[in-house]
Structure 1
Amino acid sequence: MPCQIDQKPRLALIEDDPIMGESLTHLLSLEGFDVSWYKSGKEARDALRAHRFCVAVCDIRLPDIEGGDLFLALAAERSDLPPFLFLTAYGTIDRAVELIKAGAADYLTKPFEVEALLHRVRELAESYGIVHEQTDDTLGISPAMQRIAEQLPRLARHAEALLITGESGCGKEYVARRFHHHAVGSEGAFVAVNCAAIPESLIEAELFGYEKGAFTGATRTKKGLFERADGGTLFLDEIGEMPLAMQAKLLRVLQDHRFTRLGGEKPLTSRFRLVCATHRDLKAMVEAGTFREDLYYRIHVIHLRIPPLRERPEDIRWFLRRFIAEFNQQHPDVRKRIDPRAEAALLAYSWPGNIRELKHAVERACILALGPTLTIDAFFDNAGNAPESAEVGATISASLAEYLMACERDYLLRALEQNQGHITRTAAALGITRKTLWEKLKKLECSQEKQNGYPTAT
């Protein structure tokens, strides 16, 4: 079972050095972890068999059992082993790499930077399934989505209409539901309809409802979406697909808050918040005569644009780990963790299907992966193609190894660029040490010749 939000996340520290162990225990405790310190491999093995931990920080060299052997033995016994972060000296880096391939989460070389350790431990704890209290309210951790999250409560207090634009699958309906939650909470209904999914001949009946006998097949009276949304929120997804004739009728309802069911004579009243969403350019449609200008200005009072996932890479990792955590909560007997090399490849992918594509890719990988570790093979098919057979941002090389190296090289250089070439900040952002970053740059043949001020690949 994952750690619960009503208790401190439990962390197993496996370190025989008394000075290092005491220092890390104090440091990690200050960060909010419930640290259990074990000075031998046998002691740690018994504890990990008996108790649940969110992370295990383990030295490779232990007095009785080699740290790697401890991990491999436990991994063979159970699928819900917490992520292992190994602490290794330079001479045992090869062993650490072997353990990563076997399913360990990551390693740090001694001496390591404190911030790098804390950053990586926090990430691993979250990936294992710590669910923070604000998770349901979180739209993402990128600055763009944080700004939208901050705006929604204020908009919900005052706005009667909201227009959300963005590519398909980027989270428009989720933002609409958060707006509804802030506006009316559980007291009103959230009524959603995809205008592109309803045939033109039926959309009026769906919106207005109808009386029994109004037309052939109307064997009973049915409330329409306007009526059902009274006191709540009506979400019209893909509003750009609504026929022009229906747009005029919608505008009248928005102005008067009155309508009549098909076949009925009694006017009905409904007051609701309206949220419209579309992936199309409504302004261009107005100019082309395919969308009513008066309706456009009626629904365009407040406009939120949801950036595609490729414009907010911080959210790719966040959603990736959130979806894995959700799978692990639903299937605690087959807990999954992602291989860092697979994560790097997924971060380099452009995700044209946005969050929806990412979620389907994670579900597919969790189902197809034979072991607890989600490797690159679980996400990519035998031809080396990315999820949904879309093209990966990096060029697919002749071999999978070459492709993975290209992904890692591209990711490291992008990280350097985002941190203005500052090695220490880049290493901290990646959760590795400066030494590890330099080693990776050298291994991946990233020259230190400057182009636009940043290192470039040779």
Structure 2
Amino acid sequence: MTQNFGICLIEDDEIVGEALSDRFMLEGLRCDWFKDGSSAIAALRQQRYDAVVCDIQLPDIDGETVFATLKDMAVDLPPFIFTTAYGSIDRAVNLLKQGACDFLTKPLDVRVLLERLDKLFEHGQPAVGPGLGLGVSLSMRHIESLLPRLAARSGSILITGESGVGKEEVSRAIHRLADPESQQPFVAVNCGALTETLLEAELFGYVKGAYTGASRDKKGCFELAHGGTLFLDEIGEMSPGMQVKLLRVLQDKEIMRVGGDAPIHVDIRLICATHQDLKHLVEVGRFREDLYYRVHVVHVHVPPLRERRDDILWLARKFLAQNEATHHESCTLTSEAEWALLDYPWPGNVRELKHCLERACILHDTTQMTPQMLFGQAETQTDTAVAAAVLDNSGSLGDYLNQCERKYLENRLIANAWRIGETATSLGIGRKSLWEKMKKLEIEPPR
């Protein structure tokens, strides 16, 4: 463990806590030691750590409650390793199902704990500052783990994904990591929103008298982004003529203002984004192959929201918290509203989710949001899906009932963050019965 990874240690036992914190520091790890759950929660909301080692039995609240509270707050959690002298198989399984990384019993074998941590840090980079806040799903956590390496290098980055998935948010996260003190510029341009002539003037600037209305010299986005990051969104919409000019700039690292004759040196980090398949555009002759290889040095694909459902409620709570901070209006989601959000396919992805919540907050003066307020209709998406299944008489009654039950249980499990005990209680059945139903319906918890 040669890198300066950060550990959040939550342990009320003075002897165990002091021994572990000393050992972590000897191993070259940063360690913040908290003796109760409340202070640890406050720290984890403000500071980013690479792992948490948490005792179950704490003086104020138990470790399981610490974990659940942070998840409910939509905090971007690092891997949790739980420790306890009161180990039980059921509790360990429950914690792992909730998303914990590991569960160790006391007396601790420090060697085993260090091996677990070493495994976690094997392919990662030390956390710096607050979390990036891109999501809690495995796919978004994987993207976050890549970004520090990308930020440390100045090569071109291509971000792909459907419209609204958050490509610009990823680019801004890279910029924040590269410039933690916010000293460098970040300039974003939508290439699909401007004609070729306007885009050239926007990117490269112009000199006075270059064309009618050019009454003064104007810097372009390349000059404005000098020393920082230039984000070119929808680069697939760029015309062939502009592609040639962009390629020349990337090769020479110089731009020429429209109407000017003096080259201007620029030093930028270029991040491009598109919802299109650039390789296919190259094959059909709509995108230059040489430019493709210039911008495709590193490729980051952001999956659509429907493929990372774990992010839906996390993002929804994040947007509602932002609305509360801006407008001082507190609002939460009913359990039915959460199920409706989870069941909706979100063709507009994160952008559509954000606008859906903004619209509901504007139109409804309430502290609790219902499905009807969110979607503006009397029936939820689950109702629509069930109605469609009723009309489909191609299968047997048993198949139809299994389909409905599976969908219902999956929504309940996701709404409860896959906490088996809480889900079983909300359903009015025992944990064993829920496990049996999950096995029968082939419902697998996320890994």
TM (norm. structure 1) is 0.63
Distance of aligned partners of 1:342 and 1:33 in 2 relative to their CA distance in 1, 3 Å threshold: farther
Higher relative contact order (CA 8 A, sep 6+): 1
Distance of aligned partners of 1:348 and 1:134 in 2 relative to their CA distance in 1, 3 Å threshold: farther
What is the distance in 2 between the residues matched to 1:123 and 1:393?
30
How far 1:359 moved relative to its partner?
Answer: 0.7
Q: Is the 8 A contact 2:76 2:135 kept in 1?
A: no
Partner of 2:353: 358
Which of 304, 308, 313 does residue 317 from structure 1 map onto? 313
Which of 332, 335, 342 does residue 340 from structure 1 map onto? 335
Q: Is the 8 A contact 1:211 1:263 kept in 2?
A: yes
Give yes or no for the alignment of 1:434 onto 2:419.
no
What is the distance in 1 between the residues matched to 2:63 and 2:229?
45
What is the distance in 1 between the residues matched to 2:405 and 2:205?
55
- The residue type paired with residue 385 of structure 2 is A
How far 1:384 moved relative to its partner?
Answer: 3.3
Q: Is the 8 A contact 2:158 2:295 kept in 1?
A: yes
What is the distance in 2 between the residues matched to 1:213 and 1:275?
31
What is the distance in 2 between the residues matched to 1:148 and 1:131?
15
Distance of aligned partners of 1:291 and 1:148 in 2 relative to their CA distance in 1, 3 Å threshold: same
Distance of aligned partners of 1:393 and 1:194 in 2 relative to their CA distance in 1, 3 Å threshold: farther
Give me the identity figure in percent: 47
TM (norm. structure 2) is 0.64
Partner of 1:217: 213
Which of 233, 240, 244 does residue 244 from structure 1 map onto? 240
Q: Say which SS state the counterpart of residue 183 (structure 2) adopts.
A: coil
Q: Is the 8 A contact 1:260 1:267 kept in 2?
A: yes
Q: Is the 8 A contact 1:166 1:305 kept in 2?
A: yes
Q: Say which SS state the counterpart of residue 194 (structure 2) adopts.
A: coil
Distance of aligned partners of 1:192 and 1:121 in 2 relative to their CA distance in 1, 3 Å threshold: closer
Q: Is the 8 A contact 2:371 2:380 kept in 1?
A: no
What is the distance in 2 between the residues matched to 1:130 and 1:452?
31
What is the distance in 2 between the residues matched to 1:319 and 1:184?
25
Distance of aligned partners of 1:273 and 1:175 in 2 relative to their CA distance in 1, 3 Å threshold: same
How far 1:449 moved relative to its partner?
Answer: 9.8
- The residue type paired with residue 429 of structure 2 is E
How far 1:234 moved relative to its partner?
Answer: 0.8
Alignment gaps of 5+ in structure 2: 1-34, 42-61, 79-127, 390-402
Distance of aligned partners of 1:428 and 1:303 in 2 relative to their CA distance in 1, 3 Å threshold: closer
- The residue type paired with residue 335 of structure 1 is S
Give yes or no for the alignment of 1:412 onto 2:409.
yes
- The residue type paired with residue 238 of structure 1 is E
Give RMSD over aligned pairs. 3.9
Q: Say which SS state the counterpart of residue 207 (structure 1) adopts.
A: helix
Which of 385, 388, 396 does residue 394 from structure 1 map onto? 385
Alignment gaps of 5+ in structure 1: 1-28, 36-113, 399-405, 419-425
Partner of 1:143: 138
What is the distance in 1 between the residues matched to 2:211 and 2:325?
48
How far 1:184 moved relative to its partner?
Answer: 3.4
How far 1:30 moved relative to its partner?
Answer: 4.1
Give the number of equivalent residue pairs.
329
How far 1:272 moved relative to its partner?
Answer: 0.5
Q: Which shifted more, 407-416 or 347-356?
A: 407-416
Q: Is the 8 A contact 2:253 2:266 kept in 1?
A: yes
Give yes or no for the alignment of 1:330 onto 2:326.
yes
Q: Is the 8 A contact 2:164 2:349 kept in 1?
A: yes
1:415-446 deviations in whole A, cap 9, x for unaligned?
Answer: 77x9xxxxxxx8852671534446399x99x9
Partner of 2:38: 32
Distance of aligned partners of 1:262 and 1:435 in 2 relative to their CA distance in 1, 3 Å threshold: closer
Partner of 2:166: 171
Q: Which shifted more, 150-159 or 282-291?
A: 150-159
Q: Say which SS state the counterpart of residue 364 (structure 1) adopts.
A: helix
